[in-house]
Amino acid sequence: MFSMRYVNMFGFFLLFVSTGLTRCYSSRLFYFVSRGDANFVPSYSMVETSYNIVFVMIALLIISIFGGGSLIWLI
């Protein structure tokens, strides 16, 4: 017979791992923001004025909204 005790332990393990990773990422982000020297090319130098990209992004937005709505009705 399967014991639910191991499922609870696994859930707590995932909780602590995800909290720890979030803490590490937040510390890293705070360090780079407060230091001011990120040592990488800024992403705002990329030009995103291609209408193909904008059209695809809008199509994905509409599909995800209607897909999520229909999934809610199916469940």
Spans of all domains in the chain: 4-37+50-74
Amino acid in the structure at residue 64:
S
Task: Return all residues near 32 (Cβ < 8 A) that are at least 6 apart.
Answer: 38
Distances (CA, A) of 59 to 41, 54, 56, 62, 66: 30, 9, 5, 5, 11
Q: Which two tokens stand for residue 68?
A: 């999520």
CB 32 within 8 A of CB 38: yes
Q: Mean pLDDT in the chain?
A: 78
Confidence (pLDDT) at 1: 45
Task: Return all residues near 38 (Cβ < 8 A) that are at least 6 apart.
Answer: 32
Q: Residue 16 — pLDDT band, cuts 50, 70, 90?
A: very high
Mean pLDDT on 10-33: 88
Q: Residue 39 — pLDDT band, cuts 50, 70, 90?
A: low
